[in-house]
């Protein structure tokens, strides 16, 4: 026991200041490693130990053990060649938090040196004689670790030293508990921040995407609606949220919603489902739908998220492509048929093989020029930089160019009368295509399919309209037939509609008569 007196009182004051310093460190913003070092230094100094360590609990493949955390009175290199302490008999009380071990000479303790592979102090270990081990126990009862103090002389640690270290160990436990709570709170705060940040990113993506994004309950009630959904379907968020999603579904497709909800209830995702939906103004849209289940925190499906992409333009492009392919096929077959007719017509007037070849060559070249008129000019921009490739001519010149392959210079087969009008722009291509179709049909089935057949074309201006009458004379007898519409008829009707005009036919026995009316403004561009 230490003697009473002024020196003892002064020492007690210093000890109280030490506890106050530790308490302030626990309450302050001190990093845990620094705080544990303060505790270890204090325990070593105030116990009278020569060196000390704070070891904390870890469990490895061989069972529970202590791992070095902080040292005092000795450099860390002193433990570099010493195995990690194990849960041996002499450490049992401290490891379990069941008691304190204080020995004047640990070498005399009957539990010392009884565990393999070492008998006695491990090779390279510090010269431990006096020994004091105090567990550090959490308020929950968990053993956090222990303060281990030693001296190379016997009889150093007394009851006062033990009580001091016990008090310091209690402070250490509070510090570690607080650090764990702060770490858990920090992890929770960081996790919350990450979730909030992820939600912010997701919200920004949903709002900025060109796709309509909405969500709905399993009962089909809309619960969210982004800006693109407003643009695509015409309903504002206020108008859509809370209403059934069937406001977007045409009556003949209501069954699709039942099928989609059924798959969502089973946890299935609907990928790129192409269908038709209805806008607020009643217009129909071709869209691609992706629908995914929405689950709550317990994993229960509570609704669905839907992404709708407008594919109307893609559908129109596919239709245009299909129409173009069919038109190409139609033209190729017409060219073969017309070429065969040209061979027959040329053969009727030819007196030698050379004359037949020359006549046929001229007709085929004329056919090529006429065919070129039915296509846009793809030669590139003009010197002024116009990329449209627009061309100009007149109605009569266009008719002459198209009929030329079937005409006979010595006995003209077409008479054009009336008012000539200028043609330009895209109208030229459309009208050339239409007149080429008339001529091809005449060469295959009508007046131009016979040697004596001819055409009479009259053009008249009636107000703001061009009235064109196409009359076939001297061809095979015409018999009107109720036959399904072919692609040529479909192409003809689409072209007339594109020109803003109207067309009619009179199936007269002496030859078909076609009456075409087109706004003059369309023809002149």
Q: What is the pLDDT of residues 25-61, one digit of tens each?
A: 665 666 777 878 888 888 888 888 898 888 876 555 5
User: Could you tell me which residues come within 8 angstroms of residue 18 by beta carbon, excluding any fewer than 6 positions away?
Assistant: 42, 46
Instruction: Report d(CA 404, CA 440) in Å as an integer.
Output: 12
Residue with tokens 């103090």: 149
Q: Out of 71-80, 333-342, 395-404, 464-473, which region has the weakest mean confidence (pLDDT)?
A: 333-342
**Best-predicted range by mean pLDDT among 4-18, 262-276, 310-324?**
262-276
Q: 458 falls in which pLDDT band (50, 70, 90)?
A: very high
Measured torsion, CA atoms of residues 70, 71, 77, 81, in degrees rounded to the nearest 10: -80
Q: Looking at beta carbons, which pairs linking 257-266 to residues 24 or more positions away fall under 8 Å?
A: 257/220, 260/289, 260/291, 260/304, 261/218, 261/220, 261/304, 263/291, 264/218, 264/291, 264/292, 264/293, 264/301, 264/303, 264/304, 265/218, 265/301
Q: Are 376 and 386 within 8 A, CB to CB? A: no
Q: Is the confidence at residue 236, as pLDDT, over 60?
A: yes
Which of 402, 345, 399, 344 is CA-nearest to residue 372?
402
Give the full edge-to-edge strand order of the sheet including 465-473: 414-418, 454-462, 465-473, 511-519, 502-508
Q: Are 278 and 245 within 8 A, CB to CB? A: no
HSE toward the beta carbon, residue 71, CA cutoff 13 A: 13
Q: Are 143 and 173 within 8 A, CB to CB? A: no
pLDDT of residue 1: 41
pLDDT of residue 388: 40
Q: Can you list the alpha helix ranges (DSSP code H) found in 209-236? A: 227-233
DSSP H or E segment with residue 340: helix 312-349
- pTM over cut 0.75: no
DSSP H or E segment with residue 308: strand 301-310
What are the angstrom distances between the C-alpha of 429 and each of 328, 376, 377, 486, 495? 15, 6, 9, 21, 10
User: Could you tell me which residues come within 8 angstroms of residue 232 by beta carbon, excluding any fewer than 6 positions away?
Assistant: 212, 279, 285, 287, 308, 310
Give the chain's domains with CATH numbers: 6-184 (3.30.450.40), 209-310 (3.30.450.20), 315-524 (3.30.565.10)
Q: 125 falls in which pLDDT band (50, 70, 90)?
A: low
């Amino acid at each position: 026991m230490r003697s009473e007196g002024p020196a003892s009182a002064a020492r007690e004051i210093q000890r109280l200041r030490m506890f106050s310093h530790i308490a302030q460190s626990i309450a302050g913003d001190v990093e845990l490693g620094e705080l544990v070092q303060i505790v270890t230094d204090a325990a070593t100094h105030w116990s009278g130990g020569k060196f000390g360590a704070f070891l904390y609990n870890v469990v490895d493949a061989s069972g529970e053990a202590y791992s070095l955390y902080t040292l005092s009175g000795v450099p860390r290199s002193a433990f570099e060649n010493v195995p990690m302490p194990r849960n041996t008999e002499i450490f049992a009380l401290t490891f379990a938090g069941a008691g304190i071990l204080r020995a004047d000479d640990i070498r005399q303790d009957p539990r010392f040196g009884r565990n393999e592979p070492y008998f006695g102090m491990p090779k390279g270990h510090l010269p431990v004689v006096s020994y004091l081990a105090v567990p550090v126990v959490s308020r929950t009862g968990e053993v956090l670790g222990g303060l281990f103090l030693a001296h190379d002389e016997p009889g150093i640690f007394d009851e006062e030293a033990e009580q001091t270290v016990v008090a310091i160990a209690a402070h250490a436990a509070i510090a570690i508990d607080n650090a764990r709570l702060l770490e858990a709170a920090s992890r929770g705060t960081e996790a919350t921040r990450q979730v909030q940040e992820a939600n912010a990113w997701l919200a920004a993506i949903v709002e900025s995407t060109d796709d309509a994004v909405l969500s709905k309950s399993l009962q089909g009630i809309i619960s969210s609606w982004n800006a693109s959904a407003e643009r695509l379907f015409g309903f504002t968020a206020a108008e859509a949220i809370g209403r059934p999603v069937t406001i977007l579904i045409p009556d003949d497709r209501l069954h699709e919603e039942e099928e989609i909800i059924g798959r969502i209830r089973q946890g299935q995702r609907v990928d790129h489902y192409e269908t038709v939906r209805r806008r607020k103004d009643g217009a129909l849209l071709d869209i691609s739908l992706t629908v995914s289940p929405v689950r709550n925190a317990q994993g229960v499906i509570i609704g669905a998220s839907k992404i709708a992409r407008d594919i109307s333009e893609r559908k129109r492009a596919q239709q245009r492509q299909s129409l173009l392919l069919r038109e190409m096929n139609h033209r190729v077959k017409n060219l073969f048929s017309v070429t065969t007719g040209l061979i027959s017509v040329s053969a009727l007037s030819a007196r030698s093989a050379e004359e037949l070849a020359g006549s046929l060559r001229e007709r085929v070249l004329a056919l090529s020029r006429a065919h070129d008129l039915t296509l846009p000019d793809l030669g590139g921009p003009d010197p002024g930089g116009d990329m449209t490739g627009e061309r100009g001519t007149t109605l009569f010149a266009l008719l002459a160019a198209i009929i030329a392959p079937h005409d006979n210079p010595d006995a003209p087969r077409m008479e054009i009368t009336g008012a000539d009008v200028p043609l330009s722009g895209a109208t030229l291509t459309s009208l050339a295509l239409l007149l080429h179709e008339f001529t091809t049909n005449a060469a295959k089935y009508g007046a131009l399919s016979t040697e004596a057949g001819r055409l009479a074309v009259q053009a008249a201006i009636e107000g703001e309209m061009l009235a064109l009458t196409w009359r076939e004379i001297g061809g095979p007898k015409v018999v009107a037939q109720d036959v399904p519409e072919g692609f040529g008829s479909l192409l003809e009707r689409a072209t007339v509609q594109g020109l803003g005009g109207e067309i009619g036919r009179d199936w007269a026995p002496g030859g078909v008569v076609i009456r075409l009316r087109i706004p003059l403004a369309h023809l002149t561009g």
